[in-house]
Amino acid sequence: MSPLHVVEPGEDVLKTRMIEASARIESTLNALLPLKGGPEARLYQAMRYATMNGGKRLRPFLVLSSAALFGVRESCALRVAAAVECVHCYSLVHDDLPAMDDDDVRRGKPSTHRAYDEATAILVGDGLLTLAFETLANPETHEDPLIRANLSLALAKAAGARGMVGGQMIDMLAPQALQGDGDIGAITRLQRLKTGELFAFACESGAILGRGDNTRRQALHAFAHDMGLAFQIADDLLDLEGREEEVGKALRKDVRAGKATFVSILGIERARDQAQLLVDQAVQHLEIFDERADNLRMVARFVVDRRA
Ligand code: GRG
């Protein structure tokens, strides 16, 4: 590792970069989600409600940071970033539905089915998921149709039954499958699918856009998986120790449901150590990149220190 990599810029630098990136991501989302009149106006309003509502914009930031490693034009990367955020927001809207996690609050506001109604929330999710693929397939995202196809394939794998949707299914069955002292391997797999694959897409998408070689793509994949697990452990810790006003959603649901989590199995201290270990491991995967990967290095540190 060169000395350049040892000293990463501090937390404030990351905060500023994330805030600046959020503004550009939100203006891209704004353009992709215009308000419409007519009988379907309610759907467009609700799609905007579900997306233009805060959130850390972590996955889009990962897309922009990975694209910067390959010198990708930011206008292209922003569209991929917006597509990932659409998939993420759809997953939150559907996850909050009474048939799933039944949450009334998301990002500090009434969840979409509470602000509108259940049928509208289902359609919002459907609309956002479809919009993500429409965005990737649009020539404005990349002039090369093969790259657009590769992006669509990778996002489909990450979001579908082999990724997020599959992970959600296992999670829904968790009270039977992972009750009490469920094993760490099963929880790791669940979380890799449910949240890790979308992180992996976000981190690899820059390499797809910029025609990065396999070594670099795999390094980004490995980084995302370790960082994703650290993120999940931090999420479990926040569920136990966080403040609802800061986190913006109902907490301590896992404990009440008797659900096995990294923290219930490892205990708080070991879980914290494990998260730190995963962050260090994640950062090591980036050794092949120069200081342009500092955003990714900083994000990995941020995910375990965050309070929301
Ligand atoms: C409904 C198909 C389907 C999938 C849902 C990701 C997911 C699967 C559900 C989200 C439920 C949840 C709270 C998972 C824990 C980890 C997670 C994804 C937290 C939310 O992500 P953040 O912290 O949220 O990046 P913001 O609001 O900042 O974007």
Ligand 1: which atom is nearest the Cα of residue 93?
1
* The pLDDT of residue 89 is above 70: yes
Does the structure show a pLDDT above 80 at 257?
Answer: no
Give the C-alpha separation, 224 to 218, whole Å: 10
pLDDT at position 52 over 50: yes
Model confidence at 304, in pLDDT bands (50, 70, 90)? confident
pLDDT surpasses 90 at 231: yes
Quick one: which atom of ligand 1 is closest to the CA of 232? Answer: 16
Question: Cα separations (Å) of 287 from 70, 221, 222?
Answer: 15, 13, 12
Lowest mean pLDDT among 89-93, 174-178, 216-220, 257-261: 174-178
| Cα 92 to averaged position of ligand 1 atoms, centre (Å) | 5
Task: Name the token pair of 216.
Answer: 């670099």
Residues 229-233 have a mean pLDDT of: 94
Tell me which residue has its CA closest to atom 24 in ligand 1: 55
Residue 265, classed as helix, strand or coil, is: helix
Q: Which two tokens stand for residue 111?
A: 């969840």
Average pLDDT over residues 154-180: 86
Give me the domains of the chain, ranges plus CATH numbers: 3-305 (1.10.600.10)
What is the reported pLDDT for 50? 98
Pocket of ligand 1 (CB under 6 A): 55-56, 58, 88, 91-92, 94-95, 100, 107, 164-165, 168, 194-195, 235
Determine how many CB atoms are found less than 10 A away from the CB of residue 238. 18
CA 150 vs. chain centroid, Å, equals 19
- In sequence order, what are the residues at sequence separation of 6 or more whose Cβ sits closer than 8 angstroms to the Cβ of residue 111? 92, 93, 96, 103, 104, 105, 121
The stretch 112-135 carries a mean pLDDT of: 98
CA 93 to ligand 1 center in whole angstroms:
9
Beta-bridge partners for 179: 259
pLDDT tens by residue, 62-77 = 999 999 999 999 999 9
CA of 16 to the centre of ligand 1 (A): 23
Pocket test for ligand 1, best of 91, 122, 130, 232 (most atoms within 8 A of CB): 91
Q: Which residue has the higher pLDDT, 239 or 233?
A: 233
Report the pLDDT value the prediction gives residue 96, as an integer from 0 to 100: 97
Give the position of tokens 């999940």: 232
Nearest to 190 by CA among 174, 204, 203, 201: 174
What's the gap between Cα 114 and its chain centre?
23
Distance (angstroms) between ligand 1 centre and the Cα of 46 equals 18
State the pLDDT confidence band at 5, using cuts at 50, 70 and 90: very low
**Does the pLDDT value for residue 289 go beyond 70?**
yes
Which of 92, 102, 111 gets mutated to test ligand 1 (max ligand atoms within 8 A of its CB)? 92
Per-residue pLDDT at 178: 59
Ligand 1 closest atom vs CA 88: 6
Nearest to 307, CA basis, from 257, 234, 223, 258: 234
Q: Is the separation of the CB atoms in 207 and 175 below 8 Å?
A: no
- In ligand 1, the atom with minimum distance to the C-alpha of 94 is 1
Nearest CA to ligand 1 atom 10: 92
Neighbouring CB atoms inside 10 A of 175's CB total 13
Q: What average pLDDT does the structure give for the chain?
A: 91
The mean pLDDT of 140-148, rounded to a whole number, is 98
pLDDT, tens digit (0-9, with 9 covering 90-100), for 193-209:
999 999 999 999 999 99
Q: Give every CB contact of residue 35 below 8 A, 6+ residues apart in sequence.
A: 41, 44, 45, 48
Structure tokens given for 239: 């569920």
Distance from the Cα of residue 294 to its chain's centroid: 19
Is 307 a residue whose pLDDT tops 70? Answer: no
DSSP labels, 85-143: HHHHHHHHHHHHSTTTT--SEETTEE-HHHHS-HHHHHHHHHHHHHHHHHHHHSTTT-S
What's the CA-to-centroid distance between 37 and ligand 1, angstroms? 30
DSSP run (H or E) holding 212: none
Q: Under a CB-based contact definition with an 8 Å cutoff, are residues 226 and 258 in contact? A: no
- The predicted model gives 144-149 an average pLDDT of 98
Atom of ligand 1 nearest to the CA of 101: 11
CA pair distance 135, 128, nearest whole angstrom:
10
- How far is ligand 1, taken at its centre, from the CA of residue 19, in Å? 20
Which of ligand 1's atoms lies nearest the C-alpha of 107? 27
* CA atoms of 260 and 180, how far apart (whole Å): 5
- What is the tens place of the pLDDT at every residue in 8-30? 677 789 999 999 999 999 999 99
Query: Is the model's pLDDT at 245 over the cut of 90?
Result: no
